[in-house]
Amino acid sequence: MFGLELVYPWIPVAPVIIIIVVVLWTVFAYNHFVAVVQRAKEAWADIDVQLKRRYDLIPNLIETVKGYAVHERGVFESVTAARTAAMSAGTNLEERGKAENMLTGALKSLFAVSEAYPSLMANQNFLELQRELADTENKIQAARRFYNGNVRDLNTALQRFPSNIIAGVFHFEAREFFELGEGEQAAREPVKVSFS
C-alpha cells in the first residue's frame, strides 16, 4: 500500500497506520489541553490585574471621603480591613470570592456614607475616583466571565471521552469557577457608584 511491504515485508501496514493515527491524536489532544490551560491562566491574570487596580483605587477613595466624613471611622476601618482580607485571600477561589464580596459590601457602605455629604459628591477628585472604580468593577465582571468561560471549556474537555484519557495520563486538572458566594445576595449586586 505505502511501499512498506516491499521494504519491510514482515511489518503489517494496518497496525502501523493505527499507531501513527493514535500518536498524532495524542499529540493533538495534549496540545489542545495545553492551550486551554494557558487561556485559563491568562484569564485569571486578567482578573488579578483588575482586582489589583481596584485595591489601588480604594486608599485614594478613602482618603478623599475622610476629608469630608471625619466621624465615619468605622466605615473606613471596615473598608480597609476588607481590602486587606481580599488582597491576602490566597489562591482558593471560593475564599477569594468571599473576600471580594466582603470588599464589595464594604465599598457599598462607603458610598452610602458619602451620599450624606453633598460637598463630597461635588468634589472632582471623588467623582473621578468613583468613575474609575465603576469602570474597574465592569472590567472585573468581564474578566470573570472570560475566565469562567475558559474554565468551562477546560473542564468540559477534561470530561469528554476519549480526551479524558489523555488528561488523566498527563495529569491535567479541573479548575474552579470564580463565582460569588452562595447566600450573599447583597454582594451579588454590582457596586453602585452613581449619586443622583
Q: Which long-range contacts (CB under 8 A, 24 or more apart) does 75-78 make?
A: 75/106, 75/109, 75/110, 75/113, 76/110, 78/106, 78/109
pLDDT for res 182:
44
**Dihedral-angle region of residue 174 (phi above 0 means left; psi in -120 to 50 means alpha; beta otherwise):** beta
Residue 67: closest CA among 134, 130, 117, 133: 117
Question: Which residues of the chain register pLDDT less than 50?
Answer: 1, 182-196
pLDDT for res 145:
93
Domains of the chain, residue spans: 19-188
pLDDT for res 89:
84
Q: Which long-range contacts (CB under 8 A, 24 or more apart) does 107-112 make?
A: 107/58, 107/79, 107/82, 107/133, 107/191, 108/186, 108/191, 108/192, 109/75, 109/78, 109/79, 110/61, 110/62, 110/65, 110/75, 110/76, 110/79, 111/191, 111/192, 111/193, 111/195
Residue 78: closest CA among 49, 123, 108: 108
Q: Which fold has domain 19-188?
A: de novo design (two linked rop proteins) (1.20.1440)
C-alpha cell at 129: 475616583
pLDDT for res 193:
44
